[in-house]
Amino acid sequence: MTLLGYSRPFWPLFLHVLGAMTLVGAMLAVFVLTIAAWKRPEVAVLRRAAFRTLLILAIPAWIVMRVGAQLIYSKEFGSGGHDPDWVGIGFIVADAGLLVLLVTSGVAFWWERAGSTIAGRVVGALTGIYLVMLAFAWLAMSGKWS
């Protein structure tokens, strides 16, 4: 019965899942914008849109996802015992992901200001890498890998 999340607290899990899915959606939008900008580097509105999506949507979504994760962890795994592998994978991806997200946002800021093609390609590559990391985390956590 615990497989589908019965008897788990609603709000922490809801916040965690909603934050994670919003983060994936924001990164997917940024990825699409960077691919479009790759073909049309002269269109400044794509650079601005990518940076603002990271700032207004992706970073707040990461915060909601991480706060939800910590609340669930405190309630279900906070006794100091050995955590399952999928919990560890989730935390590693979440915390390393923040670094990737902040670096991506920094490069996107540079891209928006300077219009550098290289910066746009770095944003696209980092966004793609982060999407793969997020997919790995949701597969591990939903499949309860151990």
Partner 1 sequence: MSTAQWLLMFHITAAFFLVGGSIAAGVLNVLSQRAARPSETALFLRLIRTVLPVIAIGSIGTLVFGLWLVHELHFDFWSFWILAAIVLWLLAGALGGAGGKHQERARVLAERLAAQGDTPDDELRTILRDPRGNAMSWLAGLATLLLLVDMIWKPGA
Query: What does the binding site for partner 1 look like in residue numbers (CB under 8 A)?
Result: 3-6, 10, 13-14, 17-18, 20-22, 24-26, 28-29, 32-33, 35-36, 40, 43, 45-46, 49, 53, 57, 135, 138-139, 142-145
Rounded distance between C-alpha atoms, residue 145 and residue 90, angstroms? 11
Instruction: Tell me the closest approach of the beta carbon of residue 136 to partner 1, in angstroms.
Output: 11
- Whose Cβ is closer to partner 1: residue 6's or residue 81's? 6
Instruction: Tell me the closest approach of the beta carbon of residue 49 to partner 1, in angstroms.
Output: 5
- Whose Cβ is closer to partner 1: residue 46's or residue 94's? 46
CA distances from 43 to 25, 58, 79, 106 (A): 22, 22, 53, 20
Give the pair of three-digit tokens for residue 42: 């002269």
Give the pair of three-digit tokens for residue 102: 């902040």
CA distances from 143 to 14, 66, 76, 126, 138 (A): 18, 19, 17, 26, 8
- Whose Cβ is closer to partner 1: residue 113's or residue 144's? 144
Rounded distance between C-alpha atoms, residue 19 and residue 118, angstroms? 30
Instruction: Tell me the closest approach of the beta carbon of residue 43 to partner 1, in angstroms.
Output: 7
- Whose Cβ is closer to partner 1: residue 118's or residue 135's? 135
